[in-house]
Amino acid sequence: MRLILAILVFIFSAKAESFKDCYKLFKEERFLKAKKCFLSVNDKDLKPYINHYLMLINQIYNEDFKIKDSAYAIKSYDYLKLSADSFYRKEFQKSKNYFQKIDIKALDKDDIPFYLYLKANLYNDFSIKKQLATEYIYDRNYGYKTFLEIYKNLSQKDLEKAVKTLISYRMYERALGIMPLLKTNDKVLYYYLYLYVKTEDFEKAKSFLEKINKKSKYYPVALYILGYYSKSWEERKRYFDKLVETKNKKYINKLGIPLTKKAFHYKKLNYFNYFLSKLDKSEDKVWYTFLYKYFFDSKKKAYSYLLKNTNWIKDKNKLYYWLYLASGNKHYIMRVKNSKIDDFYKIIAGGNVSVRRNIRICKGIPYIEKIKEVDYNLAYIESKYLLKKGKIKNLYCTMPEVVVRKLPKKERFIKPFGNLKDLIYAVMKQESLFYYKAISYSNAVGLMQFIPPTAYWVAKKRDIKNFDITDLFNPDISIDFGRWYLKYLLDKFNGNIYYAIASYNGGATNVSRTLRRFKPKNIAEFVETHPFDETRDYLKKVYTNYVIYRKLNGVSYVYRSNRRSR
């Protein structure tokens, strides 16, 4: 019996390895050997992929090939390629026949611009061309290309939409390039101002402020942008004062709140008090008034003030934790410890965080598991296709990262990339929610979200030759970089996990400056004195993730609230 089982295991392994070998030959462009290899593979789970690569090889040698029906996403990619090839050979009816068999749900979002481009030209559909030129103008190959072909036929509204799309993708130079096509109005003048601010040409940006009608709704927005991005405190105050003159409460508070925060964190206390005095009462105003009293006046006054304004603070665990720090009254720390809300403050108060183990009855999906061994991207596309079709039952056991957003929040503590350290997963969950092609607003990429300067610095430190930022879309490379960088930060701060987490998001320099400026006596003080909103929130969430991952692994952790954080 054991011998039979061993033979079966060997046969199964041989099939899987055979497909991998064929795939490797194909990637090495040894196409004839790859074809012979693929023809020898007898694996029904991978048959559509075997046919896919055989089709590609046959096309290289101008040989006919018929697509066999399957429920896989790769079938739609095959039809997309055949349709495109037929279109470029001017076999338009044949191209349409192939095109009609494509299921758009099967395509990755990065491939939609090409799909639309082919459809628009195949059917000469101007509405689709307009969609490409406005909604997909960020795509150089098909969106921007279409824009250049039809921009003379676009309306002012369409052109403004194209600019707005480019701004949303942070393509400011490209947006500036098409701005002369727009007719001048206050909205267009504001776009110019905004784009010159984002490209750091402040003198040009300022010149457009004078051209905007002061009664226009874009005038206070322009003042807000100039005040927010100005480099000097004098200029920030000047634009803020001009905003105050407009009596536009929305933008007075929208600019005043971040300037108040910045002045506090950089200890510009005269500016802090000035901006604070102009704000309407809000949660932010109450909180920063409290912090000012706590750090620069007296804890007694801070406690008294916060106690009178408890209704303004939505985060009750934070409220009671800081009432404890300001008063020393253990009644408050017990309220946090026994809270029903599991968060950062409950953890540092010594509370027990509840976790939900992900126990699901399901079985793996063989063809996706096998594809994943050779090409993670294709496996992700196939999994996403099943998700779009509502076939998610067994996806959790195969590629949980694809269905994670469908899970209850307490079940999102998955480990899709094997047995990595808890801190890696804690960071990954917050950074990308396990999406390998994630790109953030600051152009951070991949699972572990590296911005280009940091990524190239890590590559240089590790003597990695020919590194390209797109390499970080490979999960293995992204995880490897993240692992190395977290270790570097932990070593830099003598193993202090809080400082390492904060540095990963906001930079080690800002952590060091915060420690020098405020000399925080505990982790809560460190969190609230870090200058970046994003980093403060990030640290709390990642550390909470870390504790939950550890607990899921059966590791207990005790935080002592009186322990110094340095």
- Is 565 inside a domain boundary? no
> Do 43 and 119 reside in the same domain of the chain?
yes
> Do 106 and 167 reside in the same domain of the chain?
no
Classify the C-alpha dihedral 425-428-433-437 as positive or negative. Answer: negative
Q: Which two tokens stand for residue 397?
A: 């056991």
- Is 399 inside a domain boundary? no
User: Burial letters for 212-243: b for 16+ Cβ neighbours within 10 Å, e otherwise?
Assistant: beeeeebbbbbbbbbbbbbeeeeebbebbebb
Residue 560: pLDDT over 50 = no
**Residue range 312-337, pLDDT digits in tens:** 999 999 999 999 999 999 999 999 99
| Amino acid code (one letter) for 466 | N
**Residue range 503-538, pLDDT digits in tens:** 999 999 999 999 999 999 999 999 999 999 999 999
Distances in Å between the Cα of 42 and the Cα atoms of 10, 14, 19, 366 are 14, 10, 9, 14
Residue 292: pLDDT over 60 = yes
Round the average pLDDT of the chain to a whole number and report it.
Answer: 93
Distances in Å between the Cα of 256 and the Cα atoms of 218, 275, 302, 324, 410 are 18, 6, 22, 29, 36
The whole-angstrom separation of Cα 295 and Cα 313 is 19
> Do 287 and 160 reside in the same domain of the chain?
yes
**Residue range 224-273, pLDDT digits in tens:** 999 999 999 999 999 999 999 999 999 999 999 999 999 999 999 999 99
pTM of structure: 0.90
Classify the C-alpha dihedral 123-129-135-139 as positive or negative. Answer: positive
DSSP state of 419: S
Mean pLDDT of the 71-89 span: 95
- Is 320 inside a domain boundary? no
The whole-angstrom separation of Cα 537 and Cα 534 is 5
> Do 183 and 86 reside in the same domain of the chain?
no
> Do 441 and 507 reside in the same domain of the chain?
yes
- Is 497 inside a domain boundary? yes
Domain span holding position 166: 133-142+149-297
> Do 423 and 503 reside in the same domain of the chain?
yes
> Between residues 121 and 564, which one has the greater pLDDT?
121
The pLDDT value given to residue 17: 53
Number of domains forming the structure of the chain? 3
Q: Which two tokens stand for residue 518?
A: 């405020």
CATH number, domain at 288?
1.25.40
Residue 62: pLDDT over 90 = no
Per the annotation, the verdict on 200 as an active-site residue is no
**Residue range 430-469, pLDDT digits in tens:** 999 999 999 998 899 999 999 999 999 999 999 999 999 9
The residue from 382, 431, 525, 528 that is catalytic is 431
Task: Examine the fold and report which residue of 297, 316, 347 is the final residue of a domain before the chain moves on.
Answer: 297
- Is 410 inside a domain boundary? no
- Is 382 inside a domain boundary? no
> Do 192 and 87 reside in the same domain of the chain?
no
In degrees rounded to 5, what are phi and psi of residue 389? -85, 0
Residue 3: pLDDT over 70 = no
In degrees rounded to 5, what are phi and psi of residue 296? -120, -5
- Model confidence at 556, pLDDT cuts 50, 70, 90, reads low
- Is 376 inside a domain boundary? no
> Do 505 and 435 reside in the same domain of the chain?
yes
> Do 155 and 291 reside in the same domain of the chain?
yes
| Amino acid code (one letter) for 78 | D
DSSP state of 470: G
Residue 2: pLDDT over 70 = no
The pLDDT value given to residue 13: 43
The pLDDT value given to residue 358: 67
In degrees rounded to 5, what are phi and psi of residue 165? -65, -45
The pLDDT value given to residue 63: 82
> Do 229 and 93 reside in the same domain of the chain?
no
The pLDDT value given to residue 7: 34
Distances in Å between the Cα of 549 and the Cα atoms of 420, 427, 429, 540 are 11, 11, 11, 14
- Is 430 inside a domain boundary? yes
Task: Examine the fold and report which residue of 297, 313, 336 is the final residue of a domain before the chain moves on.
Answer: 297
Name the nearest CA neighbour of 323 among 296, 297, 303, 337.
303
> Do 154 and 293 reside in the same domain of the chain?
yes
Classify the C-alpha dihedral 451-453-454-455 as positive or negative. Answer: positive
Q: What residues contact 193, with CB distance under 8 A and at least 6 apart?
A: 205, 208, 209, 212, 222, 225, 226
- Model confidence at 554, pLDDT cuts 50, 70, 90, reads confident
The pLDDT value given to residue 22: 94
The pLDDT value given to residue 65: 76
Task: Examine the fold and report which residue of 297, 321, 346 is the final residue of a domain before the chain moves on.
Answer: 297
Residue 183: pLDDT over 50 = yes
> Do 6 and 153 reside in the same domain of the chain?
no
